[in-house]
Structure 1
């Protein structure tokens, strides 16, 4: 608006109808106040209109941007009803811009600056009225002003008005990559990823808009897809971006890696990482930690260790989760020495080891057959970090006792577990019985089994197998028979018992058990069959030297 001096006259309300650029405009009111207009009065009027504007009635408008305006007889008439658009919250409504201004200033650049100032100060209604007034005169603001107005509308939660301004900008071919990014992000936040993707695909079909796409637009959509773990669409956008000649930025690759890792697409995450390294982009802490996680899940511990060392040399600080995951991965690969080096590095970074750390280290020692070291580490944990003891740590220690045949140590650890109130599974009792088996202590093994049943822990297949083996080695034949009669018929029980009886020289008992096994329709394994055939050949040679009356008494064994 421009200041002008007029004679003192009463306030006039001029009603006129004007057609401009195929838009029918009705009841446009030009108001002229008496007296002298100055810049301060202009600002007061804008503030007053701003307040009045948000209190005025609202109606839902249709495209084109400024609505399908019919001719009314009274410009001050109020709409019959109020309708809230579904795309915005109920407290956010569509502005009903009915007023336009008589503009003496016709310089588009000056008017664009005015819209820019109004938008930056969040005077939404005044900015829209000025834009509408310019359009009626065939004047159009520049791209910067339109983007600022669009940003102001979206910032105020007025998405539908923002969409109308966006359509206006598309019609006038004054969009940019920043315009597309603003509207796509707002649509994704208000209506979800799928709606934003549909809008993006529609833009791709519009050549005028697609030409405005830049890397930032693709980054916006990759980020939107990443938030809902839509890795397929993120991958498509990545490929389309490269096909359209746009180079990815550091943000592009960070978004891709994050999206792929969250979706479990570790190979794609590593591909994006390799491309990021080839393009010599700087790697941040979060991205490198995500890549280490992807490497570990793919079993590439050497690459994970290399990236870990690269982080340290770059002055970055891996978090405790990454350190624990790397220690666990190295332990599973049999690299116990490297696992403990990472553990020392973890402590130097100021991270305190937790139960996961101790479990990874104990497991690494066990896999490396360093059973004594595993037991020493458990004692160290009990002494310095007693609060972090758990079921898994004790189980690894029990397995180490089983390998070393330390039945007394295993029983002691079992008592400690029970005294601490831990829930003990059959596996823990099995490890103790296995330690007794290794030490050839059948009586102790039977006592552990009895205690296990007393604690209402149901024995499983591994329990009975260990008991059978240790009782056979201890020549406790009655106990062997009792175990076979008590347990459910299982081919592994019979195989273990027959093989043990044969090795202990009790061939007749083995044959009887073999016959019983076949009657139960259980198939022997290769070792059992070979032992029985071997012993039958010995019997056959004795059988040929017997009298016919003795031969008739021999029972036939069915294979």
Structure 2
């Protein structure tokens, strides 16, 4: 009898090792077949068998199968441990956003159940649940879990801080992001590139370019090499505050550090130049993107729209038209900013008939106008003395749900009074 037990133990050990090997090779189906073979061999799977199988599901993000294994464990009377629970929670972190709402509820339920059972959640349990919360856009819940970590006798990790900074960034609460980043430095953890980038992104969204530049400088001082995301966030922050020379300096510095700027970086730089009326520089940046012919620098609708808007400030309506004409050739559909820019450029360039024509093209393309496009078109009507067209545009504005501004009202009144 003891010999049989020893043989069974050796067989189970071999199968458990095979499950682990299959998991490392991401052979999920094979690993689960091995788990099923344990019962077929009249052996009883132990907690190691299930842990290895759930870990396989974690690597392949098969969260429904992981939850099924937990149920199977309970039915077999096998008590799981903290490794089992954390692996199951880990499967939820990378679930696609379309199912994130359902996944968030499952993760939170697992964490609560973990806290109420004989197993106390550890930092990995909290971190996994926080990651699911961020993916499910439950950012405030992620922050709440971080605060719970501070009161639940569980020490926070670097991942806890980084996830919380990301949650604050998504909420647009740059002060919360920076406070958490400061706490990260005050703890025994050193900020990494991920935490820096999340903080930089929060500053970008708030237009806090001074702080963004300080963070970028701190990265270099702490021997953390800024990456494309770091530099892009700083350039975007500068674009919102309009110091375009700083944005261009950062773009040049990226090249000097062998950091190839990507589409996001270029778009931010073009936006900074457009905001300050540096239309020739904006066009030069777009030309660089077009010449590069690299997947990382493919111009987008944002690239063209920002360049078209720059043409408005430069009074170069022919280039604006050329850019709009180029977009379909590159399989890009002009949006309201693209059309509004062209209409405004034509109106400012005394090409009033063209301005009205492009408003019609905008309608044909099923792109709803905004207050800029309608105001520019009505200004063209005023100069052409076409008050009937102006009234028609007013009706279209109401149909599109566009609220007129002072300029639109004054233009409409002036057109009809002539």
TM-score (norm 2): 0.69
SS at match of 1:466: helix
Structure 1 position 203, deviation (Å): 7.1
2:292 matched residue in structure 1: 420
Distance 1:201 1:405, change over 3 A: same
- The structure whose residues are more often helix, as a share, is 2
Match of 2:311 among 416, 436, 439: 436
1:453 is aligned to 2:325: yes
SS at match of 2:207: coil
SS at match of 1:351: coil
2:82 matched residue in structure 1: 219
Distance 1:155 1:286, change over 3 A: farther
2:71 matched residue in structure 1: 198
1:406 matched residue in structure 2: 278
Distance 1:510 1:183, change over 3 A: same
Q: Distance in 2 between matches of 1:218 and 1:235?
A: 18
1:509 is aligned to 2:385: yes
| 1:386-409 superposed Cα distances (whole Å, 9 cap, x missing partner) | 651233222222222222222232
Q: Distance in 1 between matches of 2:375 and 2:48?
A: 73
| 1:216-247 superposed Cα distances (whole Å, 9 cap, x missing partner) | x4524422422432665554454345445x47
1:155 matched residue in structure 2: 13
1:393 matched residue in structure 2: 265
| 1:131-160 superposed Cα distances (whole Å, 9 cap, x missing partner) | xxxxxxxxxxxxxxxxxx86x553232844
User: Any stretches of 5+ residues in structure 1 without a counterpart?
Assistant: 1-99, 101-114, 116-123, 129-148, 167-179, 540-559
| 1:40-78 superposed Cα distances (whole Å, 9 cap, x missing partner) | xxxxxxxxxxxxxxxxxxxxxxxxxxxxxxxxxxxxxxx
SS at match of 1:157: helix
1:364 matched residue in structure 2: 237
Q: Distance in 2 between matches of 1:451 and 1:482?
A: 16
CA contact (8 A) 2:317 2:349 kept: no
2:98 matched residue in structure 1: none
Q: Distance in 2 between matches of 1:315 and 1:243?
A: 30
1:125 is aligned to 2:4: yes
Q: Distance in 1 between matches of 2:339 and 2:165?
A: 43
SS at match of 2:15: coil
Query: Which runs of structure 2 are paired with 1:10-21 in the superposition (5 Å)?
Result: none
Q: Distance in 2 between matches of 1:468 and 1:234?
A: 51
Distance 1:157 1:189, change over 3 A: farther
Distance 1:165 1:429, change over 3 A: closer
Distance 1:379 1:487, change over 3 A: same
- The number of equivalent residue pairs is 362
Worse-matched range after superposition: 185-194 or 324-333: 185-194
1:306 matched residue in structure 2: 179
Query: Which runs of structure 2 are paired with 1:482-493 in the superposition (5 Å)?
Result: 483=358, 488=363, 493=373
Distance 1:287 1:427, change over 3 A: closer
Distance 1:305 1:181, change over 3 A: farther
CA contact (8 A) 2:127 2:159 kept: no
1:462 is aligned to 2:337: yes
SS at match of 2:89: helix
2:199 matched residue in structure 1: 326
Match of 1:496 among 370, 376, 386: 376
Distance 1:223 1:375, change over 3 A: same
Distance 1:374 1:532, change over 3 A: same
Structure 1 position 499, deviation (Å): 3.2
2:126 matched residue in structure 1: 256
Q: Distance in 1 between matches of 2:301 and 2:105?
A: 44
Structure 1 position 285, deviation (Å): 3.2
Output the aligned Cα RMSD.
4.1
Match of 2:51 among 181, 185, 190: 185
Distance 1:287 1:187, change over 3 A: same
1:475 matched residue in structure 2: 350
User: Any stretches of 5+ residues in structure 2 without a counterpart?
Assistant: 17-37, 58-64, 93-102
Query: Which runs of structure 2 are paired with 1:48-197 in the superposition (5 Å)?
Result: 100=1, 125=4, 127=6, 154-157=12-15, 159-160=38-39, 181-182=47-48, 184-185=50-51, 188=54, 193-197=66-70
Query: Which runs of structure 2 are paired with 1:275-290 in the superposition (5 Å)?
Result: 275-290=148-163
2:223 matched residue in structure 1: 350
Q: Distance in 2 between matches of 1:390 and 1:335?
A: 22
